Amino acid sequence: MTLTDLSHCQGEVTLPGSKSIANRALLIAALCAEPVVLHNVLRSDDTARMLEALTALGVSINEQDATTLVVHGCGGHWRNTTQRLMLGNAGTAMRPLVAVLAATLEPHQRIVLDGDARMRERPIKDLVESLRAQQAPIDYLGDPGYPPLGIAGGLQPGDFVIDGSVSSQYISALLMALPLLPADSTLTLSGEVVSRPYIDLTLAMLRDFGIDIITVTDHQFRIPGQQAYRSPQNYFVEGDASGASYWMAAAALGGGPITIHGVGQSSIQGDIAFAEVVEAMGADVSWGTNQVTVRGRGALQGIDFDGNQIPDAAMTIAPLALFARGTTIIRNVANWRVKETDRLAAMATELRKTGASVKEGKDYLVIDPPQIWQHAHIDTYDDHRIAMCFALAGFSTAGVTINDPGCCAKTYPQFFSEFSRLCNLPPVA
């Protein structure tokens, strides 16, 4: 797909459901003993992998319509456990299932969790070793520290410790699993905690499903055992706040206004803080309870931003930096390297194709905009966020060609058709 010399982007857009919330909600609903009706469920590659896994485990899931699912949970007693579950590259399925299955399987039951080639390159050692320290029988079936994994029951309550600097998904996985153990546990986070808003999101969801987690300090939780997930009967999946970042950025570049429905002042997602980024770079933002409107106000200004707490949305700063005056620095995003691809290396490589000057460090990018724009053919690395980020380079006179825009199916299958609509382009075939 080629995008060139875009000048305007305005209108209204409704976000698909959040991938992070949807996959948590699907697994949590499966752990309830009573049915849960999930509304606004994202239908994407990642949620498809979770749905396939839960169905294979014996959970009955009925589709009322495309985004409304009724999950008939099994209260943590899986009906079918002799199998290999293939999870593609869905980290939001792999990580929580590792912990939850270790907490819920019987000792004689065993499941293999596997994924595609990229999943087999995504480290999971910190989570596995934290579980193994409490007697979880988990085996590496390939390279040590990586999937595929063989998991059986036997996880014991106790004092869990995990490095908080690698992935908040590991922490969320433990928070979801430990309440199901037969006695109380503690969870201590060592190091600097990355993506804390995602941990807060998990805690909020657990409260909605009747689970009590006691926050002792910023780095420690007390988790009563023998808890049971309780159905709220209906649960609404918020729009994807990470996805909102592309529309906020498009409004800043294309003038807007763009009104984004599905997130707002009441959002439980940390990535909504990207609104502060576009304000700092040169846009106006106004809020509603469940919507946000962004307007550009002219030239953008480079910023120095610590992206540790919103690493997914922080990626969208990079294409904005191509249009900003001065240098932009994105700091403290080492965990970009363990996502769908090594995002630090990939973003640096693709940004340079536009003519930008880019310095890649261990956990940062320094970006100076192109002095002379070059038409860039962007490789996406089968990473949805790279494809969506670089759509914004279409606002340059040189333009951009996105190779494999279809990879957006992971979280936002309609992204390019919506982008074309808001920019008044011909419909995407």
| Torsion angle (degrees, nearest 10) of CA 259, 270, 113, 161 | 180
Q: How many other CB atoms sit within 10 Å of the CB of residue 371?
A: 8
Q: How many other CB atoms sit within 10 Å of the CB of residue 127?
A: 26
- Say how far apart CA 263 and CA 201 lie, in whole Å: 14
What DSSP element (H or E) covers 422?
A: helix 415-422
- Say how far apart CA 105 and CA 371 lie, in whole Å: 58
Is the distance from CB of 354 to CB of 396 less than 8 angstroms? yes
In the numeric block, which tokens belong to residue 286? Answer: 């106004």
Q: Which residues lie closer than 8 Å to 130 by C-beta, 6 or more apart?
A: 160, 161, 162, 170, 174
Q: Which residues lie closer than 8 Å to 109 by C-beta, 6 or more apart?
A: 78, 81, 82, 152, 153
Distance of CA 287 to the CA centre of its chain: 23
Active site residues: 312
Binding residue positions for phosphoenolpyruvate: 19, 91, 122, 169, 343, 385, 410
- Say how far apart CA 415 and CA 54 lie, in whole Å: 27
3-state secondary structure of 184: coil
Is the distance from CB of 64 to CB of 43 less than 8 angstroms? no
Is the distance from CB of 293 to CB of 326 less than 8 angstroms? no
Distance of CA 358 to the CA centre of its chain: 25
Alpha helices, DSSP H, located in 311-383:
311-314, 317-321, 343-353
Binding residue positions: 19-20, 24, 91, 122, 167-169, 195, 312, 335, 339, 343, 385, 410
Q: Which residues lie closer than 8 Å to 98 by C-beta, 6 or more apart?
A: 113, 124, 127, 128, 131, 138, 149, 151, 173
- Say how far apart CA 393 and CA 316 lie, in whole Å: 11
Binding residue positions for 3-phosphoshikimate: 19-20, 24, 167-169, 195, 312, 335, 339
In the numeric block, which tokens belong to residue 220? Answer: 């420690």
